[in-house]
Amino acid sequence: MKALYIASTGMSAQERNVEVISNNIANMRTTGFKKQRAEFQDLLYQTHRRAGSTTSSQGSLVTAGIEIGSGVKTAATPRIMSQGNVNPTEKELDVAIRGEGFFMVAMPDGTTAYTRDGSFERDDTGQLVNVDGYAIQPGITIPGNASSVSIGADGTVEAFLDGTSTPTQIGQLQLARFVNKAGLESAGDNLFRETAASGPAQVGTPNSEGTGDLLQSYLELANVNSVTEIADLIAAQRAYEMNARVISGADEMMSATTQLR
């Protein structure tokens, strides 16, 4: 009797499901967070009697065979890369992306990571960095005498230097986009890394080539919808309970067998 093992695959799948949902809920207020969804697939089937095999010399066929499944597996936890809501913050170095692109972050190990979290700061040298102090690529240094930094929808960074009345361009933000955004690897700290599945990053200026445009003084909220997450959580919990019930049912059947004399 495989029912015990089948139900245990169901329980571990639902456990995984609850993990994914709880991570989504935990990150409900994380800037630029993209929610994940656990996707399940059925496991292999054992064919006891094959549909379409011949049942008589007259050529009659088995119309429907016997296939016994062996449970469920977690196939993937793809990220849903939909746009999150944007929220005004009144902070001049907060930038939200409206569209498909990612900011590029120079990691200490020399690699590049990608993020939707545009809550930038300037460090002691005036360089534009993320909250962990990693430089944004391409590097932009805001001079000490600059005031009123403005970031345009197309990524141009301008500032008034020394109280001049005309703004000076001090840099140009660029965005990366991927053929398969859902294939990016999550690195934590709101960062993603390029993988073979995502394809190479294609760097472009904002507002062109489908990268999306920038919104200064806004931040992108997580795209987690609390109502659907809670509904999914309830469904996962009930599914877990039902699988547990199947295990105890199978157990009772087996105990009935052992009581046979």
Considering only residues 200 to 239 of the shown chain, the ones binding other proteins according to CB under 8 A are 202, 209-210, 235-236, 238-239
Binders of other proteins in range 101-120 (CB under 8 A)? none
Using the contact rule CB under 8 A, the part of the chain among 19-27, 35-43, 106-114, 152-160 near other proteins is 35-43
Segment 128 to 167, residues that bind other proteins, using CB under 8 A: none
Q: Looking at 77-85, 131-139, 142-150, 154-162, which segment touches other proteins (CB under 8 A)? A: 77-85
- Using CB under 8 A as the binding rule, whether residue 31 contacts other proteins is answered as no
The secondary structure element, H or E, covering residue 157 is strand 156-161
Q: Which of 23, 27, 30, 70 binds other proteins (CB under 8 A)?
A: 70
Write the DSSP string, 45-102. EEEEE-TT-B-STT--B-SS-EEEE--EEEEE--B--PPPPEEE---TTBEEEESS-E
Least Å distance, CB 46 to other proteins, is: 9
Note whether 85 binds other proteins by CB under 8 A.
Answer: no
- The whole-angstrom separation of Cα 229 and Cα 59 is 53
Rounded to whole angstroms, the Cα distance separating 159 from 167 reads 5
Q: How many angstroms separate the CA atoms of 140 and 153, rounded?
A: 16
In whole angstroms, the minimum distance from the beta carbon of 24 to other proteins comes to 13
Range 162-201, binding other proteins (CB under 8 A):
177-180, 182-183, 196-199
Is 59 a residue that touches other proteins (CB under 8 A)?
no
Minimum CB distance to other proteins, residue 79 (Å): 10
Tokens of 115: 């993020």
Q: How far apart are the first and last CA of the chain?
A: 20
